[in-house]
Structure 1
Amino acid sequence: MSQQINLFNPIFLKQKKIFTALPMAEALGVIIAGALLLDWYAGHTVAQLEQEAAAGKVLLAEREQRLVKANVQFAPRAASATLQAELDAAELELKSLHNVESVLQGGALGNTAGYAEYFRAFSRQNVSGLWLTGVTISGAGNDIGLQGRAMQATMIPNYVARLTGERVMHGKTFASLDIARPDAALALAEAAAAASAPAVPAAPSAAPYVEFSLQSTMQEAAK
């Protein structure tokens, strides 16, 4: 009977040395170099940030100085009593003008267009053989009086009808109409006085024209 004896022991094998002195020195050098580079980069970055912060402080100080100067230059001024009084007076005058405009537009004063349109109407309704010797317009045109002469009395009603057809005469009627024939002697005396010549005696007779007088009034709303 035989028996095998194993005399191999792993501890007797040659061990491979991984971390020797040289590789460890190189690794340590790399670590130190990296640490130095990182420290330099951090210092450089911090320096840049400090410069930017300093520049920001300078800019902020300049802006604060400008703000102080602006506040001093454009400081709120006290209200001027004179300017306020003038402003109040102007506002009061403007309000008064608005009130006057409202009254004028409302027609409370009657006709505010003047009397020119009345005389245009009289000139448009010119009738041959009839002429006016006097015109009276009272107030705002509420009352109108006409005095004139006509060669024939029958011409007067036609003239009145045409005159009341004018736009400016709407709402008015002639309430009274007086027609008379003056003496011929009076008519001749007036003609002579107008020609700066002595009056020519004439026998009393009727004048060749008649005189008339018209007076208008405002029509009532009910009518």
Structure 2
Amino acid sequence: MSQQINLFNPIFLKQKKVFGAVPMLESLALILVGTVALTWYGSYKVGQLERSATAGKAVLAGRETMLNKAVAQFAPRPKSPVIAANIAEAEARLASLHDVESVLRSGALGDRAGYAEYFRAFARQNVNGLWLTGLTIEGAGNDIGLQGKAMQPTLIPGYIARLTTEKVMHGRTFASLQIARPDGAPASGTAPQAPVASAGAGAGQGAATSPYVEFSLQSAMPEAAK
């Protein structure tokens, strides 16, 4: 009977020294070199920052100097009472001009376009046997008065109808119409008689005091009738 005996013992193997003197020296040298490099780089960056800060301070100082000079040169001056009074007067004038413009736009003082178009309209509506002797226009054409004569009373309604077709007369109405024969104007071959009250009454009488009638046309009722 045979028996094997293992005479190997790990303790008898040659142990490898990991932290020997040489490796430790090499590591220490590497750390030292790295520390020196980092120190140099940090010093370089700090120097750059210091130089930038110094340049920034110089620029800031220069701008502060310029600002102080500008403030001293353009210092706010006290308000002049003369200028304040002129400004107040100009504002008052401007307000007055605005008021005048409002009144003019409202038409209270008259038609801004003038009265020429009214005269053109009356000139265009020419009726044979009828003529105007007076024309009054007040304000912005709100009150219009016509005075005239006609050979026949029947010509007057047609004239009014034609007159209202004019553009400038659109929307305007006549509230008062009076027709009468003139007092003391005798017709040829007849003696003068008292004037009639209206065209209708004159037509009904046998004798007329005048060959024409007078008419008065108002766009608004007279103050006495109101």
TM-score, structure 2 as length reference: 0.58
2:147 is the alignment partner of 1:146: yes
For 1:33-72, what per-residue CA distance to the aligned partner results, in whole angstroms no more than 9, with x for missing partners?
A: 4454444333323322221221121122122223223323
Q: Within 2, Cα distance between the matches of 1:15 and 1:208?
A: 162
The residue type paired with residue 48 of structure 1 is Q
2:212 to 210, 213, 216: 210
Secondary structure of the 2:181 match is strand
Cα deviation digits, residues 180-209 of structure 1 (max 9, x gap)? 455669xxxxxxxxxxxxxxxxxxxx9995
Segment of structure 1 superposing worse, 50-59 or 168-177: 168-177
CA-CA distance at 1:108 after TM superposition? 4.8
Q: Aligned runs of 1:131-210 on 2, under 5 Å?
A: 131-132=131-132, 134-137=133-136, 139-140=138-139, 141=141, 142-148=143-149, 150-164=150-164, 166=166, 167=169, 170-180=172-182, 210=212
Report if aligned partners of 1:130, 1:151 keep a CA contact under 8 Å in 2. Answer: yes
Q: Distance in 2 between matches of 1:131 and 1:102?
A: 38
Identity across the alignment (%): 45
| 2:72 aligned residue | 72
User: Deviation of residue 126 (structure 1)?
Assistant: 0.7
The RMSD of aligned alpha carbons is: 4.2
- Alpha-carbon separation, structure 1, partners of 2:79 and 2:73: 17
SS of 2:63's equivalent?
helix
For the Cα contact (< 8 Å) 1:172–1:216, is it kept in 2?
yes
| 1:9 aligned residue | none
- Unaligned 5+ runs, structure 1: 1-13, 186-205
TM-score (norm: length of structure 1)? 0.59
Shift of 1:163: 3.1
Contact 2:134/2:146, CA 8 A, preserved across alignment: yes
